[in-house]
């Protein structure tokens, strides 16, 4: 584009110079024409005497030489003037031809220049549209990212609120449950049965929450091996003491970390109940009952997992490496293989 502009400027300058030269040549041609007209007029007025006549009229030899020189000078002058006039006319013709050619080139280059300007303008408009489209896409991406961030924050807040609600429920209901395994009278009026657990190891976690289990299904007695209200409450209180302890695969420590079966085994060991080590083996421990009859303290067994039932559809368990020991609000969040009653 820059070269074409330079060519246009150069050609324009050439045309300007050619026009100036043509003007000078035309003025010169006009002056020569006027001079020739005067010469012809003079020759007409003075008579058209020939060079021979001029020479013959010489009075002596010296006059003859002078007249001969004069005739020669006049003849040379006339020929010179005529040739200059012819040359000037040819110069004018050449200048006009050159000017026409330069003007044609200028028009061609002007057309090329305009075409390139149009192409460049179209390209610029196209790029502007692309930039505008990219800007819209960028703004949409920023808006989407912001919406995703807000959604994630809302989900985290909801999860935190749900967790706080769960812990608040456990803490509020635990105050109505007994910290010590009390004497419980069954519905048939039997004497109270007291279970005294061995002293559990002291966890490194904060204060121990206690849980009040659901007693709606506490219709079984100690005679049929059913878990009593007092037994379930004590077990749940002990289990809830370890909320937040890390999940460690293969672990059995209630303070350093445990997996699901290790957690259950260690909790029940504090109450004198010996359980197998793995969740698969624990599926056969105690007595099987239906989930509809599940009571606090029963084991909820899944495929490859085990938890302690809290009542009201809740379980406490060593969930996973992310959450550790936690309370979940839906015991049926996965397929239940068996419900086992141990005390």
Mean pLDDT in residue range 214-226:
40
The active-site residue, picked from 30, 75, 167, 260, is 260
Give the number of C-alpha atoms closer than 13 A to the C-alpha of residue 82, restricted to the C-beta side: 8
Asked if residue 308 has pLDDT above 50, the reply is: yes
Mean pLDDT in residue range 135-154:
79
Asked if residue 200 has pLDDT above 60, the reply is: no
Q: Which residue has the higher pLDDT, 114 or 246?
A: 246
**Is-catalytic flag, 317?**
yes
Task: Kindly report, residue by residue over 161-182, the tens digit of the pLDDT.
Answer: 777 776 665 555 544 444 433 3
The active-site residue, picked from 30, 75, 301, 305, is 305
Task: Kindly report, residue by residue over 88-112, the tens digit of the pLDDT.
Answer: 878 888 878 887 888 788 788 778 8
C-alpha span between 231 and 281 (Å, rounded)? 23
Asked if residue 4 has pLDDT above 80, the reply is: no
How would you label 182-219 residue by residue, b for 16+ Cβ within 10 Å and e otherwise? bebebeeeeeebebebeebeebeeeebbbbbbbbebbe
C-alpha span between 323 and 301 (Å, rounded)? 19
What's the angle, vertex CA 245, arms to CA 280 and CA 235, rounded to 5?
Answer: 65
pTM over 0.75: no
Asked if residue 192 has pLDDT above 80, the reply is: no
Mean pLDDT in residue range 118-134:
81
Task: Kindly report, residue by residue over 15-66, the tens digit of the pLDDT.
Answer: 788 778 878 878 877 787 787 777 676 666 655 555 566 666 666 667 667 6
């Amino acid at each position: 584009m820059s070269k074409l502009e330079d060519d246009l400027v150069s050609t324009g300058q050439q045309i300007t110079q050619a026009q100036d030269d043509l003007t000078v040549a035309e003025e010169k041609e006009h002056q020569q024409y006027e001079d020739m007209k005067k010469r012809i007029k003079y020759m007409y007025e003075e008579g058209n005497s020939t060079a021979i006549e001029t020479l013959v009229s010489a009075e002596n030899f010296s006059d003859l030489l002078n007249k001969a020189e004069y005739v020669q000078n006049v003849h040379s002058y006339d020929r010179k003037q005529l040739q200059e006039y012819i040359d000037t006319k040819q110069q004018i013709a050449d200048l006009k031809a050159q000017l026409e050619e330069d003007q044609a080139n200028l028009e061609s280059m002007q057309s090329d220049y305009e075409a390139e300007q149009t192409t460049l303008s179209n390209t610029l408009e196209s790029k502007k549209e692309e930039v505008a489209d990219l800007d819209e896409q960028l703004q949409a991406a920023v808006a989407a990212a912001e919406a995703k961030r807000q959604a994630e924050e809302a989900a985290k807040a909801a999860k935190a609120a749900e967790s706080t609600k769960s812990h608040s429920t456990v803490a509020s209901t635990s105050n109505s449950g007994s910290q010590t395994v009390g004497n419980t009278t069954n519905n048939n009026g039997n004497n109270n049965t007291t279970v005294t657990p061995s002293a559990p190891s002291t966890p490194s976690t904060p204060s121990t929450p206690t849980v009040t289990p659901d007693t709606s299904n506490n219709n079984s007695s100690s005679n049929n091996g059913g878990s009593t209200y007092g037994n379930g409450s004590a077990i749940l209180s002990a289990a809830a003491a370890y909320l937040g302890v890390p999940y460690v695969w293969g672990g059995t420590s209630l303070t350093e970390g445990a997996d699901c079966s290790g957690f259950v085994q260690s909790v029940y060991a504090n109450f004198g109940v010996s359980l197998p080590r793995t969740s698969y083996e624990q599926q056969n421990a105690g007595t099987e009952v239906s989930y509809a009859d599940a009571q606090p303290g029963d084991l909820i067994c899944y495929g490859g997992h085990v938890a302690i039932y809290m009542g009201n559809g809740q379980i406490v368990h060593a969930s996973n490496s992310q959450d550790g020991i936690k309370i979940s609000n839906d015991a049926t969040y996965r397929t239940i293989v068996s419900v086992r009653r141990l005390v």
